[in-house]
Amino acid sequence: MNLPVNPPVLPMLANRVDELPPGEGWIFEPKWDGFRTLIFRDRDELFIQSRDEKPLERYFPELVTPLKTQLPERCVVDGEIVIARDGCLDFEALQLRLHPAASRVKLLAGQIPASVVFFDLLCEGDRDLCKTPFRERRAVLESLVGGRLTPPLHLTPATRDRAVAADWFSRFEGAGLDGVIAKVEHGTYEPNKRVMLKVKHERECDCVVAGFRWHKNGKGTALGSLLLGLFNDDGNLEHVGVCASFTAAKRRDLIAFLEPYRENALEGHPWRAWAEAPSDEETAVHRRPGSISRWSQGKDLSWEALRPELVVEVAYDHMQGGRFRHTAQFRRWRSDKRPRDCTFAQLEVVPPHELSQIFAAGR
């Protein structure tokens, strides 16, 4: 491979902010929830690189032919690999694709095929575009692929209109999107630097604390995360994720605070069966604490039970498949709330939105 920009290249990153930046000079895009990728094509050579510089083509073989067919012969594009099911992004289905068995990958490629959404261009032909302002990179990208791509390849929508971006922020969440990205229109491409801005959804929720994990560097002395649960309509406590974001001192203090709730914790515990016989990777891993999954190989997912008597208020961005998509953030203890009041009913319901309408906006 002999391109003006050759692999490996770390992608440009974003800092989180609370709201869309004011003023002129910004280009806004929807924030896709998938696997970040840089795709290098030099005629018949193709390399699909992950965010951490690993090859991805073996996990997404169905993308190879469309990329070779529809991309310019020599180019490097920045984008996101996503999977859509029932018109909505499905990150859990995307994670299932990282499987060591080629036969399993082939089966899943047929059952839940992936797509790629492009949003930047690093080079085309013999031109290195990394020092070119983003507004010009975007214009070249549009001239090369805008209106020409067919599924599973797409061009992300982009706008300079802050009101349109604010509308995307509200509506597109219903299709599983993360929020909105803001890019300086005169900005160059800066690998591994947080020069873009991302505005993500944040909400609050009261959860039952039913367990915890030790910190990887302080087992026995420091807390890593709290295991969270919500009661469903049948009165069962479902594992919905974890919360963290504690200082080193707080991690140590929490062990002493939680100690009384560890006594006889498994007696009548709603997750007792999972603690005594953890599920294997073929089961509903996202509903059970301590399960081994294909993307957590080598990690210590053991956990300690707590009597489910504590309630904590956490901040989260969005739910997917009945679980917090990302690690929730600790806000405060809610001693005034009963655990039984921590139900899925308190969650904000986001109206559905079809991905096809978003893709159409990028043409």
pLDDT digits (tens, 9 = 90+) for 94-140: 988 998 899 999 999 999 999 999 999 999 999 999 999 999 999 99
Phi-psi region of 43 (alpha: psi -120 to 50; beta: other; left: phi over 0): left
Q: With 60 as the cut, is the pLDDT of residue 195 above it?
A: yes
Best CA proximity match to 216, nearest among 338, 100, 299, 290: 299
Q: 72-95, pLDDT tens digit by residue?
A: 999 999 999 999 988 889 888 898
pTM: 0.77
- Report whether pLDDT(300) > 60: no
We find that the CATH architecture of domain 203-346 is Beta Barrel (2.40)
Catalytic residue from among 31, 68, 106, 198: 31
**H or E stretch covering 118:** strand 115-124
Residues 89, 177 contacting (CB under 8 angstroms): yes
Residue 31 bears catalytic tag: yes
List, in sequence order, the alpha helices (H) in the chain: 64-70, 91-95, 102-111, 134-145, 162-171, 248-262, 272-276, 355-361
Question: What CATH number is given for 13-201 in this structure?
Answer: 3.30.470.30
- Rounded Cα–Cα distance for residues 41 and 57 (Å): 12
Nearest-CA neighbor of 116 among 71, 174, 176? 71
Residue 23 has pLDDT above 60, yes or no: yes
- For residue 347, pLDDT over 90 is answered with no
Where exactly are the structural domains of the chain? 13-201, 203-346
